[in-house]
Structures are given as C-alpha cells and as structure tokens.
Amino acid sequence: MSEEIKVHICRQKGRTNLAMRYVDPETGKQVWRTSGTANHTKALKAAAVWEAELREGRYQKRQRMTWEAFRDRYDVDVLDGMKESTAGNYSATLNVFERTVAPQRLADCTTAKLTAFVVALRNQHLSAATIARHLRQLKVAFRWAHRQGLLLTLPQFDRIKQSKGARGRAVSGEEFDRMLAAVPKVVGEAAAESWRFYLRGLDASGLRLAESLVLRWDDAPDAIVVDYSGRHPMLRVDASAEKANTHRTLPMAPEFAELLETVPMDQRRGRVFQPLTKDGQPYAPTRDSIGPVVSAIGEKAGVIVGTRTKVDGDGDPETVNKFASAHDLRRAFGFRWSRRVMPPVLKELMRHTDIGTTMRFYVGVNAQATADELWRAAGSKLGSRGENEPFAKSGQST
C-alpha cells in the first residue's frame, strides 16, 4: 500500500546529483528518480516531498489498473451485494461515464475528467437532478476504489445546484377524472378496467411506481404485502422492496383499503395490480414498461404538470410539456393528506425516511388552501373575497 513506501537517497556512479529510490509494493521493483541536487540536505527534502506525494496518492505513475478491470472488480465486490434495482442504477451511471469520457485507466478519473463529464451532460440538456444523481453514484464508486487503494487520488466533486421544488405537481380531482376517461384511448377497451384500477390504486395509496409493482396479496421475496392480521389493513414491507431499505409495517390509507375491498376474495392472489396489454396479457411489472403508459395516459388527457428540456432532431434544445406521471398521482395523495393529518403522520403515510422531505414537498406548499381551512374552521366570512380578489384594508401595509 502507498503508506508503506519509504524513499531513500543514494549516489549513483557517474552522476553528479543524488538519486532517490523506493520499492514499489505492488511489483517489488525499485523505482528511481533524480533529486535534482548534489546537496545531501536538499536531496533529503526532495525525497520527503516525493514520499509524501506517493503516500497521499498525488503521484500516480504506479497506478495501472484499467477501467475495465475496475468495472469487473466493482461488479463482483460491490454491485453483486446490492438490491438488483440499485445495482442497475449504479451500473447505468458507470456506463454513461464510460461512454461520455472514455476512461482507459482508473487513474484517468480525475477532477478534470469529472468536469468534462458534467459539461458533456449539460450539453445534452440533461436535468440538474439527473446530473447530480450520476455524480452521487460516481462518488460512492470512487470512494470505494480509494479505500481499496485502487484509486490514489480521489477526484473533487462539485455540488450541482438543483431547484428546491418538485419536478411535477399534484394532479387535481378533475384532472384525475380526465385521465380515467382517457385510459381506453391509450390501452384499448379490453385492458381499460385493469388500468383504471391501477390508476385509482396509485391515487389512493401514495405508492411509488416501483412499490406498486411489487404489491401483493400473498408473501413473496422482495414484496410489499397487504396485511389483514391487525385491527386495520396494513402494508408489510420487505427491506429489499422499499426505497428506505428497512423492514417495516406501515399504515394503509382508508381510501386505499376501501378500493382493495372491491376485489373479490377468489382474486386476491399474486400481484395486486396487473395492468394488461391491448391483447389482454399482463404487462411485465417493470418501471420501463408501466411508467411510460401512465405518462401516455396523462398526455392523452392533456394533464400538464410542468415543462422539461429535450433535444430536437437537429440537436437543439427545446422546451416541451411534461405530462402527469405515476409520481404525480403520489403527489396528489400526499397533498390531500397534508390537509388532514400532522406532518409526523404524513411522513409515515408517504414512507419518507426524513421528515425534512415531508416538510419540503407537502407541508405549507399551498398557503391559500391553509388559509381557507383556517377561515372555514373559524366559521367566519370576515374579509372573504372572490377567488381572484385580494383582501386589503385602508392604511394596511405589508
């Protein structure tokens, strides 16, 4: 390891300047370098500087691990022990890095190379959130390589500034009705009811897309199970099936429990949601197959929740509408319940690891709705105005 390196000085025959040498702990071979001086004291100082560089990883001549060898080792030592979906995300990020900046050796992963990577992603008009996610996963991988002594110098990661707001918004009740009405136009009449049930389930449960695809009536590995063993229906979550990676039993929203009650007893087996193709066959329960269909339904219904940047056929950026997705139905669930329960309860309903996430996205996001609730609770119409008419008093300042 680099901390074992000791640089010595010596005089070589026929040379004026003193030489420096150390034994490479990986190869066992001696590595030589001139000190640039014949003065013993100055040579000792030069040796100390070189030794510090070697030990701290600032001198990288000896680092020869190829990028391909690093990928192979990281796959075996790290990714094989991760949840499949998580490992897939890390592997995808490393693939993007590889395609974008083409590192030949692990030592090529420098701060300058990361900067070039970020610039390239920005030129592709990827969102700040996507770029930040790639950098987070690269940071984890490179820190592991650094701890293993494979990467001597850990590159510096600049923080990507992101918008503090959500990248979508809650779908209103009227918009949700439009989505339900648009279902047959996207999936066909034969599959329409299975998709309406799925959309109602997302809206009533607040489940993330990936969570909804592993929701089951019965036990299975990596599943979220509908549990009727207690006083109220609950969700029993296996650690591998949830973003927080924790075994938990969580409350189920009453509206979702009522929806599940509509399913006949003899059909309560396997996956709760089984949306069908136009041919009447079950869709593969993956985000890549289900997510785009939900977004297509949102587009057909004309439910616009924001904008995004994409690259057109000429390679130029253009701003296009972002239509309602599965996560926007989760946002609608969170917004509705934020008006009914206190933040700690909402945190459990939304299955957030940190209450800060709950506070940031769901509490206090609509001051006018909060004000309406206050005036309604007070039973007073004092100061009430039309929907678009502001409230003001003579002499009042802000």
Condensed to tens digits (0 to 9), the pLDDT of residues 345-393 reads 888 888 887 777 777 776 655 555 666 666 776 765 554 445 444 444 4
pLDDT at 398: 40
Lookup result for tokens 């390239």: 120
206 has pLDDT over 80? yes
In the chain, the amino acid numbered 290 is: I
pLDDT at 254: 93
Structure tokens at 293: 């269909």
Cα–Cα dist 64/104, whole Å: 10
Tell me if 301 sits within 8 A of 324, measured CB to CB: yes
Q: At what angle do helices 189-205 and 173-187 cross, to 10 degrees?
A: 150
Q: Each residue of 153-187: pLDDT tens digit?
A: 888 887 766 555 556 788 999 999 999 999 999 99
Is the Cα torsion angle 248, 252, 257, 259 positive or negative in sign? negative
Backbone angles phi, psi at 215, to 5 degrees: -75, 125
Cα–Cα dist 333/257, whole Å: 14
* Residue among 128, 137, 127 nearest 96 (CA): 137
pTM of the model: 0.61
Contacts 24+ apart (CB under 8 A), 229-236: 232/257, 233/257, 233/260
pLDDT at 387: 47
pLDDT at 260: 96
Structure tokens at 318: 């253009």
3 has pLDDT over 60? no
pLDDT at 109: 92
Name the strand (E) or helix (H) holding 183: helix 173-187
Tell me if 343 sits within 8 A of 186, measured CB to CB: no
Cα–Cα dist 349/341, whole Å: 10
Q: Does residue 196 or residue 370 have the better pLDDT?
A: 196
Q: At what angle do helices 254-261 and 189-205 cross, to 10 degrees?
A: 150
- Reduce the DSSP state of residue 381 to 3 states and report it: coil
107 has pLDDT over 60? yes
Q: What percent of the chain has pLDDT over 70?
A: 81
- Measured at the CA of 181, the angle between CA 175 and CA 185, to 5 degrees, comes to 120
Cα–Cα dist 109/99, whole Å: 13
When pLDDT is cut at 50, 70 and 90, the band that residue 193 belongs to is very high
Average pLDDT along the chain: 83
DSSP strands (E only) in 24-166? 30-34
Is the Cα torsion angle 349, 232, 205, 83 positive or negative in sign? positive
What average pLDDT score do residues 266-282 get?
A: 93
* Residue among 323, 71, 56 nearest 182 (CA): 323
CB atoms near residue 217 (< 10 Å): 18
DSSP secondary structure letters along 221-272: TT-EEEE-SSSS-EEEE-GGGSTT---EEEE--HHHHHHHHTS-GGG-SSBS
Q: Does residue 29 or residue 334 have the better pLDDT?
A: 334
* Residue among 103, 108, 93 nearest 155 (CA): 108
**249 forms bridges with which residues in the sheet?**
236
pLDDT at 242: 57
* Residue among 175, 31, 166, 123 nearest 309 (CA): 123
